Structure 1
Amino acid sequence: MQVIGWIVLLLVVVGAVVLGIPAIRKSLLSRPLLGKFRRILPQMSDTERDALEAGTVWWEGELFRGRPDWDKLLAFPKPQLTQEERAFMDLQVEQACALVDDWEITHRTGDLPPEAWAYIKKEGFLGMIIPKSFGGLGFSAYAHSEVMTKLSTRSSALAVTVMVPNSLGPAELLLHYGTDDQKNHYLPRLANGDEIPAFALTSPWAGSDAAAIPDYGVVCRGEWQGREVLGMRVTWDKRYITLAPVCTLLGLAFRLYDPEGLLGNQKDIGITCALVPSDHPGVETGRRHFPLNAMFMNGPTRGHDVFMPLDFIIGGPKMAGQGWRMLMECLAAGRSISLPSSNAGMARMTARAVGGYARVRSQFGVPVGRFEGVEEALARIGGHAYVAEAARTMTAGAVDLGEKPSVASGIVKYHVTERARLVVNDGMDVIGGKGICLGPSNFLGRAYQQIPIGITVEGANILTRSLIIFGQGATRCHPYVLAEMQAVREPSPQKALHDFDAAFWGHVRFVISNVLRAGWHGLTAGRWAAQPSNADAATGHYYRQLSRVSSAFALLSDMSMLILGGSLKRRESLSARLGDVLSQMYLASAALKRYEDEGRQGDDLPLLHWAVQDALFRAQTAMDGLLRNFPNRLAAVVLRRWVFFWGLPFAVPDDRLGQKIARLLTEPGPARDRLTRDCYLPATADEPVGAIEMALAATLAAEEAQAKLRQIDKSGLLAGNPLANVRDMTEAAHAAGALTDDEYAVLRRRDTLRDTVVRVDDFPFDVLSTDSTPPGGQA
């Protein structure tokens, strides 16, 4: 035994010397490991590297490292509107909503009315992100997001028309990369609506794989404005381009080639972005697609061998070939705002309107919102709407802090659009036949039709989940993986060895700490995991459990990369599940941040509990699915016992919690108002949402009189009266003198508004052959 002890001591000393003395460690361990990494690491194209390195890492990086600093999360400032931005929301945004009628747009005209177009141009809606020095509104990212959210509670066509000029497109690219001449010429014109921009990226042969666009330009000489200049002949065929049918300024992405070496020795210059006036000779626009009755302007654009000077390149000739990096850097910010905002708005309006409808509409003498099956749907509507709004707000706030959160933008794009789909689907179930018959009275049918648009655009959700969130997150958010990859590709041998040594052994220490932390949290059920220093009794448990999940996720991520290596990139289902865990932690963090930022409102606790419990359960389901499908079964068994020592700990939110949320949605109060704030609420019963608001108030005002009416019915006083039925009971009771005039008036108002709410539109037999059919044409 003594000999064994000396051997162990010797091994420890040798190990300490090898690992503790940098020169020895680099020579004996790091140098051979660096060589092995260079052999096994897959080659990375320039476009892949640009995508991976684009944007910044924000809170998602904390979640990835297994030990999130919750005080850091809560220290992020609460996003707030300035007085100017709040006034714009209350006046201009409200007025813009009032100028459109969604049924008219989607069924008859196929476009915003001329007065709405004129108004959004005049009031600067198309230049919200453009600085005031160029004539724009100079709004914050949060204000931009707030405007888009409210517009989306009224009309998708209105929201998208405003969204595109303020998202990924000419204005944003010009702000970051344009020349001074380009900025001074175009930005004021974009700000005041003299120019309508569109950006053409997607082609029939390269949708989600935008880096493979086949559209091309060839550097050459040609005539421009009466003189010979160096330019390019560009050929493109694009589709799904929003505002292309009405744009005056087309942003265009294509691959630029220089076969004659007119710009240098590089023949394939790379993806390039240019600004082209839509009336430039050879540019084809004007035809349109119809994206599922949303009726915003969207269509193809084409051009064949169109000559344009090099000055059309955004940033001028020096930015030729830099287009992909430009797009990736801007997309991180734009994708954080546009679709999360519009879909959060859709979820917000659904929660407001469906909740009110469920209280107004009765079956079997009971409001449908009291049926347990409907309560389940209402709970999901409220919970998903709460977390979607939380994620939208937190991520927009990050952009205002100077971040371009590339991974977080993918998370909110995917999950907010998916949550909106769940909300609208549940809403359609609750309102039943009202939802499936289109017409001016249907407040949800068009949203149901249009939900797949957000699912599809700006990166299809299937690919966002399976390829982007973890595929990019594993590299960007991990503390050491990107540094290791950069070291492997470093041309200087000395610097490569130095950087790799620091990154690799830092990674080793990181793995060891997460192994120990995840095992400890699994054994103790996370009771002593990290939480904020000022956590309250209602939320402390959630922070601790999220810390537990974070450590388990960090361990599972590293083990997956270590065991599966480069094949993990091809195992999209496993990668997607890891991305799901990261996403659910982000969403739960956003919900907790919202609760804190809104002042720990006790009335909102049912929504918070539901949101976080749902996220924890979904994260657990993703980890369970990963381990069930992990190729190395021995590793899967060991990892499962290590992170889930006592079994799977999380459950779905229970029925009692769901019932509280259902009550919250169906009864006016501060919590309902916070959940659905800044919805556009027409003040007339001629509008379906306005009718619901008025009918809900009338229903509550009539509760006492309605209780009396039920007693009258049970008493037999009206027996044999043909009016004594569900529809005309009020008339019969009043005629019999059983109701006072005031009670009768209250009930009649309730009945009139209720009938307006439940009304379903009907049309002439030949409705589809009349001029009410949307204008069409094959693009």
Structure 2
Amino acid sequence: MASNIAKGLGKGVELAEEVRDERSADNLFAGIFTGKPSLKKVFSDWPKPSAEEVAKRSKVMSDVANFLLNKVDIYSIDDSGSVPLEVFKDMAELGLYGLKAPKEFGGMELSNTSYTDVLSLLASWCSAPVIAVSAHNTIGCVFPVMYYGTDEQKSRLLPELIKWPTGFCLTEKDAGSDAYNIRECAVRVRDAVGNIVGYRLSYQKCYTTNGILTDHVPLAKNLAVVARIVSDPAEIEIEKDQRKFCFGLFIVPTDSEGFDIGLKNTFIGMRGIHNSNPTFDNVYVSASNLIGEKRLDWESKKGWGPREGSGIKIAFESLNTGRIAIAKGCVGASKQALNLTRWWANKRSQLGGPLADKELVRDKLIFAAANILAMEAMARYASICFDNGQDVRIEAAAVKIFASEKAWQIIDNLAQTRGGRFYETWQSLSRRELTPPDEILWTGARPNRIFEGANEILVQLMFREGTDKYIKAAMPFLSVKNLKDLFKPKGFGSRIAAFIKLTGYYLKTFASRSTVGTDTRLMTHLEFVDLMSSKLARKILAKSARYRDKLALKQLMLDRFSRIAISLGAMALTCSYAKQLDKENPGHDYSQLADIFCKATRRDVDKLFKTLDDNDDEYRWRVSKRLLDGNFDDFLLGGIIPMTEEHMRGPKE
């Protein structure tokens, strides 16, 4: 049963709770939330790939670099808003649609670590190919078939799926992060004796990447589609009990009758993305193309058909790897932004000398370098955990939040350093002088804070996953709405027992700490991580006891909790990764960058802790209600022409 905390976070999170992975999240970030970060484990040597993996990665990286230099014109793609069909064919010849697929089905079987290195390389040059490759390998048809398909489905589908890009259909007009609102229905089709032989899909999906080539002409031959399975379409509106919702994931050929890929969407940035809003009009899909777990309990207790019910779970798990992929893309784009900022700082002279001699500019450069190291450390750690079969829910969310926000700052700093030249389009500026793709990088960086789960949603989910141990143990107490209800006879024993457990967790955070031997310069930062994780756990327990079921409504507080955890995890991993790099590259002293990153991050953490208690959240909430009611409109809207729906472009609802 979904916890009260999940309910407080909204229907989408409540639905995620119903299908959430029950594996224990026992990696670094979970330990930070509970005050016991596994620093010794993190500071063991980073695993070395096998010789075979190194050789495969090296060849792919070399092939991709040559491909980008010789076949991918970033300016032409941005200008046309489209990737030439030949580029998609070139990527197929390079095997980029089968990077992670098993060798027995024709894939390269790269580790997630090597795979995301390829994504980082692609992203450093042009967003279009990295979007195509990532959308296909990470959240397209390959992932669900690889991890949830039957042997028959793998043998039948994978050899074809790795030859050409595929797409993923989850988002709808009213269903984004809140997947509870999915309205696409998959109506069961039965034979004469009542066996399910197929499904008929109807509705429209939004923002499907890789689906379209040109208007009404598909690029992808297959799409992974998440839909709500029903026996009668009327159930979509009639049935409101989400526990009875049955979601499935289907591999749908785009040449199916009743399917229309729609019109090509255009975007502010990422201009080469092939994205549309496909429509399904009674599209038939064979039951053999339903991907999911075999759950006899679902079939017997809920009356669902074979392999029905796994759609949302598979989608959410694929999004975990998608978040790591976004983070590595941010690493590549940020490295390019640093490269271009340094180039311009050395080239441009103002006020008596090059920009590179100005303190404000140098600070932008060192901010980029230190944070790129942190981004890479977090992304690599998340990939290693995934490769080891560990749960990566928290790690994936943490690195996606961190990398997307830091990359935006780094690339925006490039824009600021470039000055007015940045704001002139490359088409205009390149008529007069050499023009880097800074504008293209900038517009392409902004969506990363939205894709694969908006950061505002992910910080809430991070808190839920990071405090899972507390929630399970203390739910009878945390569910109490009023303290007077604590002493009601019914359930009194379980509530008191839960309170005692919560108190026990609190006291354990004062236990003696263990240290990790490393560079003396970094030791103080690790001690800080250790101590502050204990402080974080105590704060969470104290606030949980105070607010109980209302804690889920304190979104600003949960945001601070999660951002403290992200910062502490980033510090630990950056120190560890710098130590590893120093071992592999003597004399470079990457620990300097780690030290700079940690010193700045410590100040951020101190500020976040202070605002946990010293804030005006409730006051701002009350005043915002007056704002929404129009109380300040005489000033805030005075002197302007307020735009309304009447003035906006598009069909009127």
Per the shorter chain, which TM-score range? 0.7 to 0.9
Structure 1 counterpart of 2:471, which letter? V
For normalisation by structure 2, the TM-score amounts to 0.80
Give yes or no for the alignment of 1:305 onto 2:282. Answer: yes
Q: 1:501 to 1:351 in 2, by over 3 A?
A: same
Paired with 2:421 and 2:60, the residues of 1 have a C-alpha distance of 31
Structure 1 counterpart of 2:321, which letter? A
Match of 1:205 in 2: 174
The 8 Å contact of residues 337 and 411 in structure 2, kept in 1 or not, is answered as yes
Paired with 2:44 and 2:494, the residues of 1 have a C-alpha distance of 32
Match of 1:231 in 2: 198
Match of 2:369 in 1: 382
Paired with 1:40 and 1:69, the residues of 2 have a C-alpha distance of 26
Give yes or no for the alignment of 1:85 onto 2:85. Answer: no
Offset of 1:63 from its aligned partner? 1.3
The superposition leaves residues 343-378 of structure 1 with CA deviations (integer Å, 9 ceiling, x where unpaired) of: 111111111221122112222441111112212222
Match of 2:461 in 1: 468
Structure 1 counterpart of 2:139, which letter? L
Q: Which one is further off, 206-215 or 624-633?
A: 624-633
Give yes or no for the alignment of 1:285 onto 2:261. Answer: yes
Structure 2 counterpart of 1:592, which letter? C
The 8 Å contact of residues 15 and 180 in structure 2, kept in 1 or not, is answered as no
Match of 1:97 in 2: 68
Q: Which one is further off, 299-308 or 273-282?
A: 299-308
Q: 1:429 to 1:39 in 2, by over 3 A?
A: closer
Paired with 1:38 and 1:105, the residues of 2 have a C-alpha distance of 47
Paired with 2:263 and 2:410, the residues of 1 have a C-alpha distance of 33
The 8 Å contact of residues 159 and 342 in structure 1, kept in 2 or not, is answered as yes
The 8 Å contact of residues 234 and 304 in structure 1, kept in 2 or not, is answered as yes
Paired with 1:381 and 1:500, the residues of 2 have a C-alpha distance of 49
Q: 1:41 to 1:562 in 2, by over 3 A?
A: farther
Paired with 1:568 and 1:106, the residues of 2 have a C-alpha distance of 45
Paired with 1:207 and 1:239, the residues of 2 have a C-alpha distance of 9
> Considering only CA atoms, is the larger Rg found in Structure 1 or Structure 2?
1
Q: Which one is further off, 287-296 or 52-61?
A: 52-61
Q: 1:41 to 1:174 in 2, by over 3 A?
A: closer
- SS of structure 2 residue aligned to 1:75: coil
The superposition leaves residues 610-653 of structure 1 with CA deviations (integer Å, 9 ceiling, x where unpaired) of: 211122222222111111138899xxxxxxxxxxxxxxxxxxxx
2:601 equivalent among 615, 620, 626: 615
Q: 1:56 to 1:249 in 2, by over 3 A?
A: farther
Segments ≥4 residues shifted beyond 6 Å: 37-44, 486-489, 496-504, 630-633
Match of 1:368 in 2: 355
Match of 1:32 in 2: none
Structure 2 counterpart of 1:93, which letter? V
Give yes or no for the alignment of 1:67 onto 2:51. Answer: no
Offset of 1:38 from its aligned partner? 10
Give yes or no for the alignment of 1:482 onto 2:469. Answer: no
Q: 1:401 to 1:158 in 2, by over 3 A?
A: same
Residue pairs, 1:669-680, within 5 angstroms: none
Match of 2:312 in 1: 324
The 8 Å contact of residues 60 and 118 in structure 2, kept in 1 or not, is answered as yes
The 8 Å contact of residues 148 and 342 in structure 1, kept in 2 or not, is answered as yes
The 8 Å contact of residues 473 and 502 in structure 2, kept in 1 or not, is answered as no
- SS of structure 1 residue aligned to 2:206: strand
The 8 Å contact of residues 55 and 332 in structure 1, kept in 2 or not, is answered as no
The 8 Å contact of residues 209 and 273 in structure 2, kept in 1 or not, is answered as yes
- SS of structure 2 residue aligned to 1:318: coil
The superposition leaves residues 686-736 of structure 1 with CA deviations (integer Å, 9 ceiling, x where unpaired) of: xxxxxxxxxxxxxxxxxxxxxxxxxxxxxxxxxxxxxxxxxxxxxxxxxxx
Offset of 1:568 from its aligned partner? 1.1
2:570 equivalent among 580, 583, 587: 587
Paired with 2:413 and 2:462, the residues of 1 have a C-alpha distance of 27
Q: Which one is further off, 357-366 or 406-415?
A: 357-366
Paired with 1:234 and 1:311, the residues of 2 have a C-alpha distance of 15
Give yes or no for the alignment of 1:563 onto 2:556. Answer: no
Q: Which one is further off, 413-422 or 311-320?
A: 311-320
1:147 equivalent among 103, 115, 118: 118
Residue pairs, 1:398-477, within 5 angstroms: 398-439=385-426, 441-465=435-459, 467-475=460-468
Q: 1:578 to 1:314 in 2, by over 3 A?
A: same
Match of 1:520 in 2: none
Offset of 1:599 from its aligned partner? 2.4
Give the number of aligned pairs.
568
Offset of 1:470 from its aligned partner? 1.5
Give yes or no for the alignment of 1:546 onto 2:539. Answer: no
Residue pairs, 1:512-523, within 5 angstroms: 512-514=507-509, 516=510
Paired with 2:394 and 2:4, the residues of 1 have a C-alpha distance of 28
The 8 Å contact of residues 533 and 568 in structure 2, kept in 1 or not, is answered as yes
1:257 equivalent among 197, 217, 230: 230
Paired with 1:615 and 1:39, the residues of 2 have a C-alpha distance of 33
Match of 2:300 in 1: none
For normalisation by structure 1, the TM-score amounts to 0.68
Q: 1:582 to 1:41 in 2, by over 3 A?
A: closer
Q: 1:269 to 1:320 in 2, by over 3 A?
A: farther
1:48 equivalent among 17, 25, 36: 17
Offset of 1:229 from its aligned partner? 6.9
Match of 1:732 in 2: none
The 8 Å contact of residues 80 and 142 in structure 1, kept in 2 or not, is answered as no
The superposition leaves residues 433-461 of structure 1 with CA deviations (integer Å, 9 ceiling, x where unpaired) of: 33222226232110111112211111112
- SS of structure 2 residue aligned to 1:319: coil
The 8 Å contact of residues 167 and 334 in structure 1, kept in 2 or not, is answered as yes
Match of 2:184 in 1: 215
Offset of 1:550 from its aligned partner? 0.7
Structure 2 counterpart of 1:157, which letter? A
Q: 1:531 to 1:375 in 2, by over 3 A?
A: same
Match of 1:759 in 2: none
- SS of structure 1 residue aligned to 2:20: helix
Paired with 2:149 and 2:7, the residues of 1 have a C-alpha distance of 35
Paired with 1:156 and 1:470, the residues of 2 have a C-alpha distance of 31
Structure 2 counterpart of 1:158, which letter? P
Q: 1:190 to 1:307 in 2, by over 3 A?
A: closer
Q: 1:190 to 1:506 in 2, by over 3 A?
A: same
Task: Give identity over the alignment, percent.
Answer: 21
Paired with 1:396 and 1:504, the residues of 2 have a C-alpha distance of 37
Match of 1:521 in 2: none
Offset of 1:120 from its aligned partner? 1.0
The 8 Å contact of residues 136 and 192 in structure 1, kept in 2 or not, is answered as no
Paired with 1:629 and 1:318, the residues of 2 have a C-alpha distance of 52
The superposition leaves residues 97-117 of structure 1 with CA deviations (integer Å, 9 ceiling, x where unpaired) of: 121011000103x32234322
Offset of 1:179 from its aligned partner? 2.1
Match of 2:143 in 1: 172
Offset of 1:260 from its aligned partner? 11
The 8 Å contact of residues 213 and 255 in structure 1, kept in 2 or not, is answered as yes
Offset of 1:95 from its aligned partner? 1.8
Offset of 1:48 from its aligned partner? 2.3
Paired with 2:159 and 2:21, the residues of 1 have a C-alpha distance of 33
Paired with 2:4 and 2:161, the residues of 1 have a C-alpha distance of 50
The 8 Å contact of residues 216 and 235 in structure 1, kept in 2 or not, is answered as yes
Paired with 2:229 and 2:576, the residues of 1 have a C-alpha distance of 45
Q: 1:323 to 1:358 in 2, by over 3 A?
A: same
